[in-house]
Amino acid sequence: MSNLRNVSFNDLFAEVKRRYECTKRPAMNVIMIGPPGSGKGTQGPKIKDDLCVCHLATGDMLREAVAKGTELGKQAGDIMKRGDLVPDELVIGLIENNLSNPECERGVLLDGFPRTAVQAEKLDQMFVSKQMSIDRVLEFAVDEDVLGERIEGRRIHQASGRSYHLKFNPPKVEGKDDATGEPLMHRKDDTREALGKRMASYHRDTKPILDYYRQHGNLRTFNATAPIKEVEGHIEKALYSNMI
């Protein structure tokens, strides 16, 4: 309550209205899958707000652990910088620990998880035990030629994971996060060299799990090379209509 007293009436009303609007939409569990730079982190906050679900982004959680210097961060930091995948058990633990958060009551938006067959199997088990189901898997299909420029121009707000681009999605004030005014940073793995490794692991480890979801009929694939606003439209269709 004491926190709420510090929130302006207008902000509080807008939040209540947003949550009320969510009650008219179906509760959903959604997975975003796409190569590095395909737009998951850009679209995630809007999907989260539209559906009133929690946004569990393993990359953001790992970067937070690295920044705080936790045991997990010490194990993951160098692996991430190289562009390799962090061991399955570490990321599975992150998801397991967060799935029961009150914020996840209406559903969950998974960003960057699962990324391997082992993670996909474990997720199925977690969902079965919680009587949850995967309603949509969104595949960000992107022309790989655009990814280098997207990665090099990306700037992020470390605390929230909000993603900007110097050319395609600049912040209102150069170098500052729109919501907090805090400085933006360039990710250590946003280099052409690490991108090569991340793409290789996307093709080797992650793409095969798309077939698994395709067979289950909940995969929706759309053109993520399009401008950001257009991709938003593709996602709305993918979420709310049965065919795209």
**Three-state DSSP class for residue 77:** helix
List, by residue number, the catalytic residues: 40, 115, 154, 187, 198
Which residue is nearest to ligand AP5, using beta carbons?
59
Contact residue for ligand AP5 among 80, 137, 235, 238 (CB under 6 A): 80
Check binding of 198 to ligand AP5 (CB under 6 A): yes
Q: State the Cα torsion 176-139-141-177 to the nearest 10°.
A: 0
d(CA 158, CA 182): 9
Q: Which stretch binds ligand AP5 (CB under 6 A): 8-16, 22-30, 110-118, 121-129?
A: 110-118
Type of residue found at 195: L
Check binding of 91 to ligand AP5 (CB under 6 A): yes
d(CA 175, CA 161): 14
Check binding of 186 to ligand AP5 (CB under 6 A): no
Contact residue for ligand AP5 among 165, 184, 222, 238 (CB under 6 A): 165
Interface with ligand AP5 (CB under 6 A), residue total 36
181: left (phi over 0), alpha (psi -120 to 50) or beta: left
Write out the binding residues for ligand AP5, residues 26-55 only, by CB under 6 A. Answer: 34, 36-42
Check binding of 145 to ligand AP5 (CB under 6 A): no
Tokens coding 165: 């681009």
**Residue ranges of the alpha helices (H) in 23-155?**
40-51, 58-68, 71-82, 88-98, 117-129, 147-153
The residues binding ligand AP5 (CB under 6 A) are 34, 36-42, 58-59, 62, 79-80, 83-86, 91, 112-113, 115, 119, 150, 153-154, 163-165, 168-169, 189, 198, 226-228, 231
